[in-house]
Amino acid sequence: MKQTSCFIRYWPIPLGFLGLYLPTLHDLATKIWMEGERLDAIPLLVIAAYLLWQKRHALPCSATVAAPAACLTAMVFGLLAYVLGRSQEILFFEVGSSLPVLASCILALGGWARLRAAWFPLLLLLFFLPYPGVLIDSLTGELKQHVSAVSESLLYALGYPVGRTGVVLSVGPYQLLVADACSGLNSIVSLCAIGLIYLYITPGGRLPRTAILVASILPIAFAANIVRVLTLVLLTYHFGDDVGQGFAHSLTHILLFATAVALLIGIDRLLGLIATGASQRCAT
């Protein structure tokens, strides 16, 4: 009964929101995801949507509009970004506008308290945004060089006939390019988001644990990328180009995320062991 009346009082808001972003979602699906790009962002959107939906009963929706000024300000700002982004095909503006627009809608529905309750799904959306290639490249360009360099030294230490020019690894008769699409460096943003989701769903957060885990997210993403490149090189070297570039190539993408999650859980367990060890010492 309560939910029904809430819906009756606020039904135009979800209607407007869907009117804005269903076309955007359609474009994302047909122009980006169908091309096989940024597929790793889809789970982020699903998780953010699920968490938002889960939070809907957390607080009663307000009987009056709680913060109309802030609500309208965020809405106008978001809509300007939307109009510029959608009409001129600047995807970052178009998708990015959903953050202020969504915040404005949540403010209208339940004021600041409800917006605070929804902080985590909104933060996840920040990781979902299609950032301009320029930004990603300038952030990960160096990283790519290091991934190739570390992979090369590891393979060399293992006795493989390996050489490197820039970001091209050659092993035996094969040459592998540690390209953007190949090394999964575009997925670094998603890897960071996965780290945050892990922290969010595993409570028990004392500050040192949270701090250490947050600080380890980037090194983990780096390590997971190296594991992936090594796997690709070894697959190519032992089973040929067809295997290394074919089906196994997609599989190693899943490996990338699996490695990252495993490392994160490993570090968390280790921290747990150290913590219990320390508290036992204190007790005795």
Number of residues that bind other proteins (CB under 8 A): 55
* 132: region left, alpha or beta (phi > 0 left; psi from -120 to 50 alpha): beta
Choose one: 173-181, 190-198, 220-228, 235-243; the region binding other proteins (CB under 8 A).
173-181
Judged by CB under 8 A, does residue 142 bind other proteins? Answer: no
Judged by CB under 8 A, does residue 163 bind other proteins? Answer: no
Question: Which tokens is 258 given?
Answer: 């699996």
Measured over all CA atoms, what is the biggest interatomic distance in the chain, rounded to whole angstroms?
71
Q: Which is nearer to other proteins, 46 or 179 (CB)?
A: 179
Judged by CB under 8 A, does residue 7 bind other proteins? Answer: no
SS (H, E, C) the chain: CHHHHHHHHHCHHHHHHHHHHHHHHHHHHHHHHCCCCCHHHHHHHHHHHHHHHHHHHCCCCCCCCCCHHHHHHHHHHHHHHHHHHHHCCCHHHHHHCHHHHHHHHHHHHHHHHHHHHCHHHHHHHHHHCCCCHHHHHHHHHHHHHHHHHHHHHHHHHCCCCEEEECCEEEECCEEEECCHHHHCHHHHHHHHHHHHHHHHHCCCCCHHHHHHHHHHHHHHHHHHHHHHHHHHHHHHHHHCHHHHHCHHHHHHHHHHHHHHHHHHHHHHHHHHHHHHHHHHHHHC
Concerning whether 228 is annotated as a catalytic residue, the answer is: yes
Compute the distance between CA of residue 267 and CA of residue 195 in angstroms, rounded to an integer.
12
Judged by CB under 8 A, does residue 274 bind other proteins? Answer: no
Contact with other proteins (CB under 8 A) among 19, 159, 203, 204: 19
Concerning whether 61 is annotated as a catalytic residue, the answer is: no
Judged by CB under 8 A, does residue 159 bind other proteins? Answer: no
Judged by CB under 8 A, does residue 242 bind other proteins? Answer: no
Binding mask 53-72 for other proteins (x = CB under 8 A): ---------xxxx--x--x-
Choose one: 19-27, 45-53, 190-198, 219-227; the region binding other proteins (CB under 8 A).
19-27
Contact with other proteins (CB under 8 A) among 2, 57, 69, 134: 134
Judged by CB under 8 A, does residue 36 bind other proteins? Answer: yes
Judged by CB under 8 A, does residue 246 bind other proteins? Answer: no
Positions in 69-128 near other proteins (CB under 8 A) = 71, 75-76, 79, 82-91, 101, 104-105, 108
Judged by CB under 8 A, does residue 182 bind other proteins? Answer: yes
Q: Which is nearer to other proteins, 166 or 208 (CB)?
A: 166
Instruction: Please give the positions annotated as active site.
Output: 182, 228
The site for other proteins (CB under 8 A) is made up of 5, 8-13, 15-17, 19-20, 23, 31-32, 35-37, 62-65, 68, 71, 75-76, 79, 82-91, 101, 104-105, 108, 132-134, 137, 141, 165-168, 177, 179-182
